[in-house]
Structure 1
Amino acid sequence: MSQHAATFRQMHGGPEPLRLPNAWDAGSARLFESLGAPAIATTSAGVAWAMGYADGGRMPVEVAIAAAANMARVLRVPLSVDMENGYSDDASAVGETIRRLLDAGVAGINIEDGTDAPAKLAAKIEAIRAAAEKSGLDIFVNVRTDVFLAGLVEGPKRVGETLSRSAMYRAAGADGLFVPGLCDPSEIAAVVEGAGMPVNVMAWPGLASAAELGRLGVRRLSAGSGISQMLWGQAEKLAKDFLATSDSGSMSEGSMPYSQLQALFVER
């Protein structure tokens, strides 16, 4: 087992959730590490946008792997990579992709079901486990189910459907369960009680504090694409101002000094 993978597993032990500010490139990953993040996770949406692709499985797998390897290059803390659906419907192809991520030094992944049948994701998890075993390395497989986020079933049935999928994914070799859109404290408690593995939720308007989530048993809290979306919004505003007025002043307000940015990457 790699040291990063072992360390990353231990981070899911509580009592408060592991807080992950999701990065979208090597620069943002290194910045978040410098701020004290104990591990870095990625946002597939943020990575796709930064690389010039739409989110939702449209980014070529080679681009995703290269982006992950570039992040791993600058980090000294564990890296978990959001691989969407594995960028393939072929379980064996997904296993090979994860083997390449292991070679790059990745400690964990997210992989999701979306609107696919749960059995398809279970087969991919099994292929990932086989690839890791063949490599002699470990990887933390955090499985995302979109039951809540995409409203795959009616509201009263969502907890039951989530737990049904969780059992299938756990049997296939999953290590953690990510349920974006899960916000209600009673539903969080029910999922935590029945999941049988660490539960991950995503930052969401009205979501309880990290301390309260910890009391509910949540072990991981992700920022999702929120930070990258905020920065895209700021970039849009600054560019609009510059194009409209050619005013340089707005670009210096709140900016990170050049020397501070340089210092993040020298002698790594």
Structure 2
Amino acid sequence: MTSTPHDHAAHLAELTVSRAERLRELHAAPELLQVVNVWDVVSARVVAALPGTTALATASHSIAASFGYPDGERIPVELMLDMAGRIARAVEVPVSADLEAGYGAPGETIRRAIGEGIVGANLEDELKPLADSVAAVRAAVAAAEAEGVPFALNARTDAWLRGHERPREVWLADAIERGRAFLDEGATCVFVPGALGEAEIAELVDALGERRLSVIGLPGVPAPARLAELGVARVSYGPYTQRLALGALEDAAAQLYAGGVLPSDIRPLN
């Protein structure tokens, strides 16, 4: 018997729910969830093929740069969602997308992302008034519930990124207040990007709960094994993975211009 468009749509919906459930499980598991950020299909396939990969995350900054746009919602949302969907359809593991601040319509953006096969997302508060930030999280959670998908919302607060010039106790208290409010609205975990030390991470975990904090693995941030011991749920790497790749390209080009030749051990990863 041939399958119908309805059968295909039902299969995709079932697959999306299954991957969403898996991503939620990975956030709650005792093991730290490490997601290496990708920006296109080939980078996603390379990372997904590694034995240690259980999920992937896109990097909005990196995708925007690939299309020639600066970071900060300057890329059209259609382009961002299209690339995120291409990545999700190219791999077997769950994919979480960095959807910046929701492109002016967090609920609708999450709904469209789910339609592309995305099962989790970062959503930035940009340190907007708390009521506005909470409303954005509420809209995102409601949109996922309406689609019947147990979406993994990584609600991001920029309390450190945009406010770390404030006294330590002030930005930490702000991050905790916002994080608790986001969790109360149904966020899976709270993302506090920044150059956080062990003491700040421990305070945030104590205030938000174990496996509810997400961080970025910047130089100086504790290593993954220690993050797991501290009770962190997830670590990602943002645009730094693309910068590593571009740095390798720049170095190779400079060596070729200087009279060098291509090495003999190039891996055929594309």
Do both proteins adopt the same fold according to a TM-score greater than 0.5, normalized to the shorter chain?
yes
1:198 — aligned with what?
212
- The corresponding residue for 1:120 is 132
Among 12, 15, 23, the alignment partner of 2:27 is 12
Shift of 1:248: 6.4
Q: For 1:237, give the aligned amino acid.
A: D
Identity rate of aligned residues, in percent? Answer: 35
The CA distance in 2 between the partners of 1:48 and 1:2, in whole Å, is 28
TM-score norm. by structure 1 comes to 0.88
Matching residue of 1:83:
99
Are 1:230 and 2:241 counterparts? no
Q: Which runs of 5 or more residues in structure 1 are unaligned?
A: 262-268
What does residue 235 of structure 2 align with? 221
**Residue in structure 1 matching 2:169, options 156, 164, 175:** 156
Note closer, same or farther for the CA distance 1:253–1:125 as it changes in structure 2 (3 Å cut): farther
The whole-number CA distance in structure 2 between the counterparts of 1:3 and 1:61 is 26
Q: Secondary structure at the match of 2:172?
A: helix
Match of 1:252 in 2: 263
The residue that corresponds to 1:71 in the other structure is: 87
Match of 2:144 in 1: 132
| Counterpart Cα distance in 2 of 1:241 and 1:209 | 32
| Aligned 1:40-79 pairs, distance under 5 A | 40-79=56-95
Q: Secondary structure at the match of 1:65?
A: helix
Contact 1:16 1:210 in 2 (8 A): no
Aligned equivalent of 1:185: 198
How far apart in 2 are the matches of 1:254 and 1:222? 29
Given the alignment, which residue of 135, 142, 146 partners 2:158? 146
Q: CA deviation at 1:221?
A: 0.9
Contact 1:16 1:215 in 2 (8 A): no
Instruction: Give how far 1:170 is off.
Output: 1.6
Letter matched to residue 198 of structure 1: R
Q: Secondary structure at the match of 1:212?
A: helix
Tell me the distance in 2 between the aligned counterparts of 1:220 and 1:21. 11
Structure 1 residue 107 corresponds to structure 2 residue 111: no
- Once the two structures are superposed, residues 62-120 of structure 1 have per-residue CA deviations (whole angstroms, 9 ceiling, x without a partner) of 111101111011011000000011111xxxx3211211111111110001112322322
User: How far 1:150 sits from its partner (Å)?
Assistant: 2.4
Q: Say what the alpha-carbon RMSD is for the aligned residues.
A: 1.8
> Where does structure 1 differ by over 4 angstroms across 4 or more consecutive aligned residues?
none
CA gap 1:118/1:27 in 2 versus in 1, 3 angstroms: farther
Question: So what's the TM-score if we normalise by structure 2?
Answer: 0.87
CA offset at residue 138 of structure 1? 2.3
Q: Which residue of 1 aligns with 2:178?
A: 165
